[in-house]
Structure 1
Amino acid sequence: MIVRRQLACAMLALSALSLPLAAAAQDAAPTVKLKQGALKGAVVEGVEEFWGIPYAAPPVGELRWKPPAAAPVWTGERDATKAGASCQPTQKGEYTEDCLFANVTRPAGAKPGAKLPVLVWIHGGGFTIGSATGAFGAQTDGIQFAKDGVITVSVSYRLGRAGWFAHPALCKEGPCGNYGYMDQIAALKWVQANIASFGGDPRNVTIAGESAGGISVLELMLAPDARGTFQKAIGESSFGRLEPTSMADAQAAGVKAASAAGVSGEDAAAAAALRKLPLSAMPYTGPFTSRAGPILDGRYVQGGIYEGFAAGKQAKIPLMIGGNSNEASLFRPQPAALDAIPDARKAAALAAFDPKGTGNKAQIVNDMATRQYITEPDRAISRAQSKTGQPVYTYYFSYVSPGAKAQLPYGAPHTAEIKYAFAGPKQQFAEVDLPLAKAVNAYWAAFIKSGAPDSAGGPAWPKFAPNETYMEFGADGPSPHDHFLKAQLDWQEANVKAGAGASPTASK
């Protein structure tokens, strides 16, 4: 357990944050003036929130499957106390396409010109589901970050067929396929143009995201159109060896979906017919993890993530990157997968993944899948980014609350770290979990402010290079490890080079 006095004190401090602030209702509603118009927000838990701010025109009608257009303007004060519509479909597959909104949470009393550090959060959800306001049991409204002096901006972006769809008729019109990335870049440019009005510093912006959001962070680091819109990055469960879908395959899938919905042809008439369809007319088939995601369009996505980093094409900025100890929870590998490994490689695999000879096939295959999709790609990306001379901080989140161990026997599942990073009063923590929550949040906040997590949440967090150090967040609190899980990661890397450890083409 964590024994440092500062973390014990932090536990009490974070516990206090869970109490409602009676004075909040009496505080005057905060206002902000943008070029678009004035906003009226609310005081929540002692900080100020502005929700449902349109950062681009609604991508509906003729604007469906077009790059985002200029944001609307309004007269008078716009009510910014309620979240905008989510881009994710309903259970019946219907989409609310008017969904390009940003939400801003800031410290109480922040004024224009305050130059506070800014976090822009990009949610996950396999590019098909998810919400800017929180998902997977974690609220991402940034209340605790605001108490730490950080402004948080969470953004929505087009999902599913609305955001990741290619068809020859649409591609003849201009940029196509990665409409979700076009939205994310438009949101970042909106932040650059407007965050100073909220008291933020447009020159101290950190982008962060988890899963599909983490993939997006790495893709944005590679995208020329996003260059200069952020100065630091945090990738959580980022699938750093992800390969995009080829444009040819994406267009073929688009033609197939359109044809099934009764639309044929590749001309302007076909594009017009597609825009009249309800998106539910083109339902997905196949595994959730292969439905949507980056498409190789040559502009927003120019190649595989790792290949781009290895070639030095990424933004040269401080990076925090990491994943959890059971990312395989997303894929649910079966123990029989171990038996499918060729004998020539199996002995080395067992030596690396089961050195004590437990024979626990379920644990072994979960660890192998986690290393394949996240832990080894994190090392590969960390190596590439370190070569640019920029600081890289790599983590491994393995903490499982004592009360949940029976339900989570293989480790911390996909998405588990999000609530610890945000650690706000809306999160649900057992008392025993609070010290680690405060520690993780403090490290994240320090990185957002300065580009270095330092010792904000406990022991000093060393850079990844030169000792390939991971900071583990586990049962004993934060703990750095040099050459972390080296045998397992080396085995996985060797199999990637041999073509035996390919990453998924899309992920949650």
Structure 2
Amino acid sequence: MYGFVLLILVLTAVQAARLDNRQAGPSVTISNDTIVGSSSLGIDSFKGISFAQPPVGNLRLRPPQPIVQNFGTIQATGSPKACPQFFTQANTGLLPQDVLSTVLYSPLVQEITNAGEDCLTLNVQRPSNTNPSSKLPVLFWIFGGGFEVGSTSTYDGGSIIRKSLSVDEPVIYVSTNYRVGGFGFLAGNELAEEHSTNLGLRDQRLALQWVAENIAAFGGDPDKVTIFGESAGSISVFDHTVINGGDNTYKGKPLFRGAIMSSGCQLPALDVRTPRAQEVFDTVVKEAGCSTTSDKLSCLRSVDYITFLNAANSVPGLFSYQSFVLSYFPRPDAGDAFYSESPDISIASGRFTKVPVIIGDQEDEGTLFALFSPNLTTNNDLASYLVYYFPENPNAEQNVRALLATYPDAPLLGQPAGSPFRTGVLNNLYPQFKRLAAVRGDFTFNLLARRAYLHAVSPSIKAWSYISSYLYGTPVAGTFHGSDLIFTFGLLGDADVNPITDAIQTYLVSFVNHLDPNVVGAKTKWPLWRENGSVPLLMDFLVAGKSQLIPDDFRQDSYEYLLGHQAEFRV
């Protein structure tokens, strides 16, 4: 008996000590919370701060709702829950893949991987000596993952903050979760009718509004926010420049003053009511067991989490044979002012936010995506494969074949055609691999996205552009999509030990502080994209942190064809 009482007393004391230790962490008071974080190596971290009501039950598949009640004191020190992930397609009828998806989307694995619907949180990291009067510029990070996977837990901003402190240009880092996959980007007529489309973008926008209202309490300056993203996050950054017709204000003030886009930009797209989007919706409804109900959305909102997760993930995923066009991504909704038109129309019409930008890509953006189509062995195979993705274009066959004609079918040794680029006949995993990788990369990233965007906006905004080739020579992959994350976040060592990280972070910190990448550090001067006149210039990030300026005129024939036919290539 006495031993039991002693044990209770000891456990109570230990718990009290833990509570005292948590309370001793940095704390910030905002309108409806006191938020207690943690400190380590000169950085304060506040993780898992809710910025919206949990999008569960009747709030599933609806725009995010602001938090209105007070929570008191919350401990922002744990690992935030990730939004539901779309790792692989479910219910395919193929035994190995269905076994895998059954395991991945089981309640146990969802618990182990810390995923679930109550996920709309953000993280704030700052130098430990920051106080409300510091007014530091803010870097707002939006993760990528094909609009199907990703969470804030993967992207710690500590390395960037340490770099900012080393050059005496401190920054605050904010990262946000948002709904992905069918939870965040399901489209179709039914959702359009109730203005519940592009929910992931709406989540991001509400997180930006939270920053506008609360970041000053953490020592940040709400007037000095730069939005930054990679891949789907980069496309999202671009989308925030055209949302609401280019109006990025909230309560009369801009939500951001600069934008950084890494591997992603404008993506010409068809409306949420397009037959392909409706087909995805109908598939999800069927797999959820809601096909015979009169109110399909009410049914989708009422089924349990695992049922809806498997239904939402029953369509082709990011790394699948049909990955050229994703099942889930932002589509314009003509009936809603939030995101009402294809991005190429917004840019051509001047309906975009006029802020300075940095925008760039990896040299071999398409290689990873081309790994999953090994049956494409002839030019006709590749043409048929691509034509499928433009069903509303009556001239798709003609357009695709004209585009493919700008990519040699059998490159000779030394020719700069096919990705990985500059490797001649090497690395051609299957007969059409390098051509598909080149087209995939140029369509989504290097040419139709980045360069077409710059062509339209550079006269009206300051724009710096880059390409990364630091992994040139990597077999099959080259400088592949996503490889920039290794260096941006210091995964191979901070800037003091990794020269590539040092170069990238120096320009990054300079831009966040001064809206110019050239103010901080003695790096190669990075001119504006149009500064050279008729031939724009790119910063090329090379191995060992070396940089050089190169003309942005590669694959000019392909670029000119894509530029002149953006409307025909809406997906």
Q: TM-score range by the shorter chain?
A: 0.7 to 0.9
The match for 1:87 is 83
- Any idea what SS the aligned residue of 2:540 has? strand
Structure 2 residue corresponding to 1:371, chosen from 439, 442, 446: 442
Distance 1:348 1:37, change over 3 A: closer
Write out aligned runs for 1:371-390 (5 A). Answer: 371-376=442-447, 377-388=449-460, 390=461
Shift of 1:247: 2.0
**Partners of 1:430 and 1:46 in 2: CA distance:** 15
1:112 to 109, 114, 132: 132
The aligned runs of 1:94-133 (5 Å cut-off) are 96-133=116-153
SS in 2 for 1:274: helix
Quick check: 1:465 aligned with 2:530?
Answer: yes
**Structure 1 residue 67, shift from structure 2 partner:** 1.4
**Cα distance in 2 between the residues matched to 1:209 and 1:100:** 18
Amino acid at match of 2:288: A
Q: Provide closer, same or farther for how the CA distance between residues 265 and 182 of structure 1 changes in structure 2, counting only shifts above 3 A.
A: farther
Q: Distance in 2 between matches of 1:123 and 1:409?
A: 25
Aligned runs of 1:301-312 on 2, under 5 Å? 301-312=339-350
Rounded Cα–Cα distance in structure 2 between residues aligned with 1:310 and 1:235? 19
Residues 365-418 of structure 1, C-alpha deviation per residue, up to 9 Å, x if partnerless?
Answer: 344543333121211112222121x210101111129xxx55x45421111112
2:315 paired residue number: 285
Between the aligned partners of 1:344 and 1:439, the Cα distance in structure 2 is 36
> What is the alpha-carbon distance in structure 1 between the residues aligned to residue 478 and residue 148 of structure 2?
26
Aligned counterparts, 1:78-477, within 5 A = 78-89=74-85, 91-92=104-105, 96-134=116-154, 139-140=156-157, 142-144=160-162, 147=165, 148-172=169-193, 174-224=194-244, 226-227=248-249, 228-249=254-275, 250-264=277-291, 269-277=295-303, 278=305, 279-282=308-311, 283-288=313-318, 289=323, 290-298=326-334, 299-332=337-370, 336=377, 346=405, 349=408, 353=417, 358-360=424-426, 362=428, 364-365=434-435, 366-376=437-447, 377-388=449-460, 390-400=461-471, 408-423=475-490, 427-429=491-493, 434-454=498-518, 456=520, 458-467=523-532, 468-475=536-543, 477=545
Equivalent pair of 1:119/1:208 in contact (CA under 8 Å): yes
Alignment CA distance shift 1:478-1:311 (3 Å): farther
What letter matches 1:271 in structure 2?
L
For residue 178 of structure 1, report the CA deviation from its aligned partner.
0.8
Q: Which moved more, 1:27-36 or 1:59-68?
A: 27-36
Preserved CA contact (<8 Å) 1:129 1:160: yes
CA displacement at 1:430 relative to structure 2: 10
Secondary structure of residue in 2 paired with 1:215: helix
**How far apart are residue 337 of structure 1 and its match?**
6.0
Instruction: Describe the SS at the equivalent of 1:209.
Output: strand
Tell me which of the two structures has the higher relative contact order, counting C-alpha pairs closer than 8 angstroms and 6 or more residues apart: 1
How many residue pairs end up in the alignment?
466
Cα deviation digits, residues 131-176 of structure 1 (max 9, x gap): 1121xxx64455435635110100000111111123544444x312
Offset, 1:280: 2.3
Query: Quick one: distance in 1 between partners of 2:77 and 2:285?
Result: 39
- Report which stretch shifted further, 379-388 or 115-124: 379-388
Rounded to whole Å, the distance in 1 between the matches of 2:262 and 2:349 is 22
Q: Which moved more, 1:448-457 or 1:121-130?
A: 448-457
SS of equivalent to 2:367: helix
Please tell me the residue identity of whatever aligns with 2:506: A
AA at the equivalent of 2:296: A
Counterpart pick for 1:50 among 46, 53, 61: 46
Amino acid at match of 1:411: G
The secondary structure found in structure 1 opposite 2:358 is: strand
Residue 127 of structure 2 aligns with an amino acid whose one-letter code is P
Report the equivalent of 2:557: 491
Further displaced range: 253-262 or 347-356:
347-356
Partner of 1:300, secondary structure, is helix
What amino acid maps onto 1:292 in structure 2?
Answer: Y
Check whether the contact 1:58–1:98 (CA below 8 A) recurs between aligned residues.
Answer: yes
Q: In structure 2, what is the Cα distance between the partners aligned to 1:159 and 1:400?
A: 29
Q: Using the alignment, how far apart are the partners of 2:439 and 2:470 within structure 1? A: 18
Distance in 2 between residues matched to 1:386 and 1:230, nearest whole Å: 19
Alpha-carbon shift at residue 344 of structure 1 (Å): 10
Tell me if structure 1 keeps the 8 A contact 2:499–2:544. no
Shift of 1:38: 0.3
Query: What do you get for the CA RMSD once the two structures are aligned?
Result: 3.2
Residues in 1 aligned to 2:129 and 2:116: alpha-carbon distance in whole angstroms: 34
AA aligned opposite 1:481 = L
The answer for the alignment partner of 1:8 in structure 2 is none
Could you tell me how far apart the structure 1 residues matched to 2:181 and 2:339 are? 17
Residues 71-82 of structure 1 mapped to structure 2, 5 A cutoff: 71=67, 73-82=69-78
Seen in structure 2, the aligned counterparts of structure 1 residues 498 and 96 have a Cα distance that, compared at 3 Å, is same
- Retained in 1: the 8 A contact 2:363–2:469? yes
- Scaled by the length of structure 2, the TM-score of the pair is 0.74
- Residues 233-262 of structure 1, C-alpha deviation per residue, up to 9 Å, x if partnerless? 011111434424532433443133213322
| Cα distance, 1:352–1:199 mapped onto 2, change above 3 Å | same
1:446-469 CA distance string (max 9 Å, x none): 111111101635111111113311
In the TM superposition, what is the alpha-carbon distance from 1:483 to its structure 2 partner? 2.4
Deviation of the 1:338 alpha carbon: 6.3
CA distance in structure 2 between the aligned counterparts of 1:347 and 1:218, rounded to whole angstroms: 28
The one-letter code sitting in structure 2 at the alignment partner of 1:491 is D
Amino acid across the alignment from 1:236: S
Q: Structure 1 pair 183/347, CA: closer, same or farther in 2 (3 Å)?
A: closer
Matched, 1:67 2:57: no
Rg (Cα) greater in structure: 2
Query: How much does 1:63 deviate?
Result: 1.2
Asked if the contact 2:367/2:476 (under 8 Å) is kept, the reply is no
Q: 1:385 to 1:440 in 2, by over 3 A?
A: same
Going from structure 1 to structure 2, the CA distance change for 1:400 and 1:60 (only over 3 Å counts) comes to same
1:359 deviates by 3.6
> What is the Cα deviation at residue 487 of structure 1?
4.0
| Cα displacement (A) at 1:331 | 1.2
Tell me how far apart the structure 2 counterparts of residues 72 and 301 of structure 1 sit (CA, whole Å). 26
Distance 1:183 1:145, change over 3 A: farther
Separation (CA, whole Å) in 1 of partners of 2:71 and 2:340:
41
| Gapped regions of structure 1 (runs ≥ 5) | 1-24
Q: Is the 8 A contact 1:86 1:132 kept in 2?
A: yes
- In 2, Cα distance between equivalents of 1:153 and 1:357: 39
Q: Please give the secondary structure, in 2, of the residue aligned with 1:208.
A: strand
Give the % identical residues.
Answer: 27
